[in-house]
Every structure is written in structure tokens, then in C-alpha cells.
């Protein structure tokens, strides 16, 4: 459509400068451009009452993750800049619990989704959920089957789902908010679950906020992001994880986000902000960069024994660690990150001091 608008501008300019002789040529150009505009994506419509989103405007939120060296201030900013933008009118989603693509893009926009879990089973095409709330209780919120969607993802090469300005709230469920693979979450708030994400492969967390994990008492093991035992690979599966699954996660990115290993309304530590689970094979192509972390027993558990003591191309770089809860960031600091491919250029959020060792400490000036 923007090309049509630019063509209209050129039509007006041609008529002014060249006179009526230019109009026929310009109208021909308009017709050609109109025919070239792609069909609109499928919109899954819904009925129901409306509520409003609570996030910030796009203009206010550029580089929000780096907007403050004070963690409570940054948490408030993250609350404003993730999830549906302020003033968004939300209507109830009454579409299917399982979304199947058919080669076209599918868009769910401005909805409150209570279908749980919402499963994605697309043969091709991207499913985008934007400016929406996904609210559940007693179930995982979003499920993309690693094995079942492997072929549709181009054998693990492509994302199949994008969450954009979405709030994902499991309502205190002792399970996962988002699981397993092929999901890109952008400016999304994730909370109210035992594990914010449980991931196998092809996951990106960008400019998002994972916090306020659920605690279920003695059985709790809250992690902002939990790495699964393995990822689906029919050509090289059969590890100790399960038939068809190769040990270790693959292609996971955390970028410009805030992740807290805290539970019960930020009143106690969970297990971690990120935890590896590399019992039988290395986590591969993991990039944790330009993000902010705090809390947890250990804030980040990098690959550790038993299993390989380091990942393959596993990078923890250019992050900030907050002393808001502990000078050691987590109760016991970080775990085995010194051994990774790259653990560099990390700093303390509040002081700016270097933080490039599992045992580094930070202070609030």
C-alpha cells in the first residue's frame, strides 16, 4: 500500500510539472502497482467484549532494555514496553484451539486468548499473534510441537510463530508458558508459570520481559527459560533424551531482554533466569546478548556436568547483571559460564563494573 501512496504523490507532482500529458502514464503505473500488492494475510476474527492493553507506545520504548541502571525502574519500563500497547482494544478470541496454516500468513490481532494450550500445526506460512493477551490457568499457554512441525519449519531453519506485543500469563500454572520450538517472541511479557519458556530449538526472545514465575511449593523449579534435554533431528536422533531427539538445544537467542529468576510476585528466588539441561550432549548455537538478568539460585546455569562441560558456540556476552537481590546476582552467582565459547564484555547493571566470571560480584553505588 505504501507504494500506491508514493505513486499518488508522483501523480500529483507529474500533473503539476508536466501537465495533463503525464496523467495517462502515471495512471498506468498506479494500475501496475495495485496489481502487484500481495493479498492480505488471513485474519482470525472473533466476537466478544473488549478490554484494553497496558503496554507503552513504540516511540517511548526504543532501546527500553538499556534505559536505566536501576532494576526497579527498568522493570517498570519493561512492564510498559511489552505486551499490548496502552489503549489497545481487545476482543475475545473464539477461533480454533489448534491453528493450521495453509500456505498463507495467519494473523491474530487485538485478542484475549483463553484457549489453552493454543497449538500451532501449520504446514507452511507464519502464524503471528500481536497486540494480544494469552491468559490461561491450569495448562501450558502456547505449544509448537518440535517433531510435528520440523518439516514445516524447513527442517528446523525457520520460525513458524511470532508473538509481537503479547502478554502471556499462565495464571500460576506449574508448567510452561511457551514450549517447544520455532517461536520468535518480540516485546512480549511472560509470567505466571513455572517455566517462562521450555525450549528445544529455533527460539528467539527479543526485547521481552520474563518475570514473576510461579512457585508450587516443594515441587517448584522455576526458570525463566529452561533448555530441554534435546531437539528433534530425524537424521541424528536417538539420544538418551528420546527416540528422534538429538541431545542439547539448538539455535536459541536471547537478545535485548530482561529475565528474572524470581517467583511469587518477586518475593523469593526461583531456580534461574536461564538453565541448561545438557546431560548427554552440547547445547549448540546459543547467544545470550545485550540483556539484563537477576535473581535465582544461580542466575544462569550454563552447560555443566554431568554431560559436556561447555556448549558448542555458546556465548554469554554484553549483558548486565543486577545486584538488586544479591551482590552475587543469584544466590550462588552464575554456574559454569566461565567455560563457554565466549563469556565477555558483561557488566554490573548498577555500577558498570566488569562481570566476566561466575564468581564476580556487583554492588549498588
pLDDT tens, residue by residue, 91-117: 999 999 999 876 678 999 999 999 889
276 falls within a domain:
yes
Pair 117, 258 in one domain? yes
Pair 24, 127 in one domain? no
User: What mean pLDDT comes out for the span 160-179?
Assistant: 92
Pair 56, 31 in one domain? no
DSSP reduced 3-state for 150:
coil
Q: Which three cell numbers stand for residue 44?
A: 482470525
Q: What is the mean pLDDT of the chain?
A: 83
- Cell 546455569 belongs to which residue? 301
Choice among 60-69, 217-226, 240-249, 258-267 with the minimum mean pLDDT: 217-226
**At residue 265, does pLDDT exceed 50?**
yes
Return the pLDDT at 278: 79
User: What mean pLDDT comes out for the span 282-293?
Assistant: 96
Pair 238, 317 in one domain? yes
**At residue 219, does pLDDT exceed 70?**
no
Q: State the total domains in the chain.
A: 2
CA 274 vs CA 53, 221, 257, 288, 340: distances in Å:
28, 12, 12, 10, 15
Rounded CA gap, 186 and 82, in Å?
8
Structural domain harbouring 214: 42-348
Pair 26, 97 in one domain? no
**At residue 262, does pLDDT exceed 60?**
yes
DSSP reduced 3-state for 226:
strand
Pair 54, 71 in one domain? yes
Pair 8, 133 in one domain? no
Classify the C-alpha dihedral 338-207-186-78 as positive or negative: positive
310 falls within a domain:
yes
Return the pLDDT at 16: 34
Pair 113, 173 in one domain? yes
Rounded CA gap, 340 and 314, in Å?
6
Pair 128, 217 in one domain? yes
Return the pLDDT at 363: 94
Choice among 142-151, 171-180, 323-332 with the minimum mean pLDDT: 171-180
Using a pLDDT cut of 90, give the percent of the chain over it: 63
Return the pLDDT at 187: 98
Pair 178, 312 in one domain? yes
User: What mean pLDDT comes out for the span 222-241?
Assistant: 87
**At residue 294, does pLDDT exceed 90?**
yes
Pair 25, 61 in one domain? no
Q: Which three cell numbers stand for residue 87?
A: 489503549
Spatial CA neighbour of 347 closest among 290, 299, 275, 272: 290
Rounded CA gap, 198 and 177, in Å?
8
Contacts of 19 (CB under 8 A, 6+ apart): none
User: What mean pLDDT comes out for the span 3-7?
Assistant: 35
The more confidently predicted of residues 264 and 147 is: 147
319 falls within a domain:
yes
Element (DSSP H or E) covering residue 134: strand 127-135
**At residue 289, does pLDDT exceed 80?**
yes
Return the pLDDT at 52: 56
Rounded CA gap, 49 and 207, in Å?
30
357 falls within a domain:
no
For the beta carbon of residue 227, count every other beta carbon within 10 angstroms. 25
Using a pLDDT cut of 70, give the percent of the chain over it: 81
Choice among 21-30, 299-308, 342-351 with the minimum mean pLDDT: 21-30
Q: Give tens-digit pLDDT for 111-126.
A: 999 988 999 988 778 8
**At residue 230, does pLDDT exceed 80?**
yes
Cα 48 off chain centre by:
28
Q: Give tens-digit pLDDT for 11-54.
A: 333 333 334 443 343 334 434 433 443 444 444 433 233 455 55
Amino acid at each position: 500500500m505504501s507504494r500506491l501512496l508514493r505513486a499518488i504523490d508522483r501523480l500529483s507532482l507529474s500533473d503539476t510539472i508536466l501537465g495533463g500529458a503525464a496523467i495517462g502514464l502515471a495512471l498506468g503505473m498506479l494500475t501496475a502497482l495495485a496489481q502487484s500488492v500481495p493479498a492480505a494475510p488471513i485474519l482470525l476474527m472473533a466476537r466478544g467484549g473488549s478490554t484494553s492493553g497496558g503496554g507503552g507506545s513504540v516511540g517511548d520504548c526504543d532501546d527500553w532494555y538499556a534505559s536505566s541502571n536501576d532494576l526497579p525502574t527498568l522493570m517498570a519500563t519493561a512492564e510498559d514496553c511489552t505486551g499490548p500497547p496502552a489503549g489497545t482494544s481487545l476482543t475475545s478470541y473464539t477461533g480454533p484451539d489448534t491453528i493450521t496454516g495453509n500456505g498463507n500468513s495467519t494473523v491474530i490481532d487485538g485478542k484475549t486468548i483463553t484457549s489453552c494450550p493454543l497449538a500451532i500445526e501449520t504446514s507452511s506460512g507464519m502464524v503471528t499473534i500481536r497486540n494480544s493477551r494469552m491468559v490461561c490457568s491450569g495448562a501450558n499457554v502456547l505449544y509448537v510441537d518440535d517433531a510435528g512441525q520440523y518439516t514445516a519449519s524447513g527442517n528446523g531453519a525457520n520460525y513458524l510463530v511470532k508473538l509481537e506485543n503479547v502478554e502471556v500469563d499462565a495464571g500460576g500454572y506449574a508448567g510452561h508458558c511457551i514450549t517447544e520450538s520455532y517461536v520468535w517472541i518480540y516485546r512480549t511479557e511472560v509470567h505466571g508459570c513455572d517455566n517462562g519458556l521450555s525450549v528445544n530449538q529455533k527460539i528467539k526472545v527479543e526485547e521481552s520481559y520474563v518475570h514473576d514465575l510461579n512457585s508450587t511449593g516443594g515441587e517448584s523449579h522455576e526458570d525463566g527459560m529452561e533448555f530441554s534435554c534435546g531437539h528433534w533431528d530425524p537424521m541424528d536422533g536417538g539420544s538418551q533424551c528420546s527416540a528422534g531427539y538429538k541431545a542439547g538445544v539448538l539455535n536459541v537467542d536471547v537478545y535485548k531482554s530482561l529475565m528474572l529468576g524470581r517467583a511469587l510476585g518477586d518475593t523469593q528466588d526461583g531456580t534461574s533466569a536461564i538453565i541448561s539441561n545438557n546431560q548427554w550432549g552440547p547445547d549448540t548455537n546459543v547467544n545470550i546478548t545485550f540483556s539484563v538478568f537477576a535473581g535465582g539460585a544461580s542466575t544462569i546455569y550454563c552447560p555443566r556436568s554431568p554431560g559436556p562441560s561447555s556448549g558448542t558456540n555458546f556465548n554469554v556476552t554484553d549483558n548486565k547483571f543486577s545486584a538488586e537481590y544479591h551482590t552475587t546476582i543469584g544466590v550462588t552467582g552464575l554456574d559454569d559460564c566461565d567455560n563457554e565459547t565466549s563469556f565477555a564484555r558483561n557488566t554490573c547493571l548498577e555500577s558498570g563494573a566488569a562481570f566476566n566470571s561466575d564468581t564476580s560480584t556487583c554492588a549498588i553505588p
